[in-house]
């Protein structure tokens, strides 16, 4: 089947990336996965093959630009093109901002932000020849609404959004047919909470409500088909983003009050994957399956903003009409 479409997923061996690999395999795609750990790569390749896809595993650290470009070259050498590139790789550090070292900030930035930049540039180099293809950035509601204990990760995701918005304008200027979109995710039941570096007592956990990686992966795949400017996945993402737009100071106080203890659960932190991969198959899901919902709503950011703008115009119009009527009544 030479006409099978091709997707490349960075960080595709665990969490949402692993769920995406399975989702595209079920659709019959050719699935190339970039990751550091050999155990995860082997397990993901087996998943893709069982689901009906054609796998290609590429051992690479996305912070290494040369390795990412070489991986993209290998995909094109084997399958002739890249239809969809998903930048999903990330690492994080949990703890108060001052407890993280400069080296830890640099590492989170190199993987979560610069890894997105490297993947995007590698994809563009091959997509420009055909003037087609889609690049999808896996973002987070934290790209808009930062929370305590995750300063490095929030900053990296905000940087991804800034980079993506700038590049989108350039592609529009060039009248390019390459599509660029970003999905802002809610809390998801993934293994990151079991292998993230932490500087707090206890084990990190997501702020509820929590969603399954499979439900989120399906929403992402739908976004990749239509490629809106941005898609907000999950009601918590919509609430966090809109709340920050409307009342950022209030949201600051809410996060200070509620988002600290809710991110720390019982138990002891395990070995982390910040600098080196954890060599075991972590799968797609974390330890919060009993709390995770397999239903998730999604809306494109422009749709929400248009609705808000329309609502604002209606309110403004009603106010102007009422003012005019009152003025007429007062006019003798």
- The residues assigned a catalytic role are 153
Q: Can you tell me which residue has the tokens 């949402």? A: 16
Nearest one of 140, 138, 150 to 108, comparing CA atoms: 150
Q: Is 74 helix (H, G, I), strand (E, B) or coil?
A: helix
Q: Are 212 and 188 in contact (CB under 8 A)?
A: yes
Q: Which residues of 42-53 are buried (b: 16+ CB within 10 A; e: fewer)?
A: ebbbebbeebeb
Residue 169 has a CB neighbour count (10 Å cut-off) of 11
Virtual torsion, Cα 298, 188, 91, 272, nearest 10 deg: 180
Instruction: Give the residue ranges of DSSP H helices in the chain.
Output: 15-26, 38-50, 65-79, 102-108, 114-130, 151-173, 192-195, 213-226, 235-246, 248-258, 301-330
């Amino acid at each position: 089947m030479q006409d099978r479409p091709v997707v490349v997923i960075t960080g595709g061996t665990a969490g949402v990336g692993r769920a995406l690999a399975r989702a595209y395999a079920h659709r019959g795609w050719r699935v190339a996965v970039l990751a550091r750990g050999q155990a995860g790569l082997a397990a993901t390749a087996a998943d893709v093959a069982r689901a009906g896809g054609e796998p290609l595993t590429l051992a690479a650290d996305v912070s290494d630009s040369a390795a990412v470009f070489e991986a993209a070259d290998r995909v094109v050498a084997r399958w002739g093109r890249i239809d969809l590139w998903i930048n999903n790789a990330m690492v994080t550090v949990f703890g108060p901002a001052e407890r993280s070292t400069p080296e830890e900030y640099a590492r989170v930035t190199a993987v979560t932000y610069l890894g997105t930049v490297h993947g995007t540039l590698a994809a563009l180099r091959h997509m420009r020849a055909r003037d087609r293809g889609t690049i999808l950035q896996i973002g987070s509601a934290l790209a808009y609404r930062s929370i305590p204990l995750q300063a490095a990760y929030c900053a990296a995701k905000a940087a991804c959004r800034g980079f993506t918005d700038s590049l989108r304008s350039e592609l529009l200027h060039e009248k390019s047919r390459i599509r660029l979109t970003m999905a802002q995710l809610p809390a998801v039941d993934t293994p990151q909470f079991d292998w993230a570096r932490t500087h707090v007592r206890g084990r990190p956990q997501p702020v509820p409500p929590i969603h399954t990686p499979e439900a989120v992966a399906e929403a992402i795949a739908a976004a990749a088909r239509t490629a809106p400017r941005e898609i907000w996945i999950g009601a918590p993402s919509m609430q966090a983003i809109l709340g920050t737009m409307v009342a950022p100071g209030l949201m600051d106080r809410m996060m200070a009050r509620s988002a600290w203890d809710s991110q720390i659960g019982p138990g002891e932190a395990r070995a982390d994957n910040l600098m080196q991969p954890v060599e075991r198959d972590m799968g797609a899901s974390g330890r919060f399956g009993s709390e995770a919902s397999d239903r998730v709503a999604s809306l494109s950011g422009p749709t929400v903003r248009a609705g808000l703008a329309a609502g604002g115009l209606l309110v403004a119009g009603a106010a102007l009409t009422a003012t005019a009527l009152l003025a007429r009544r007062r006019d003798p």
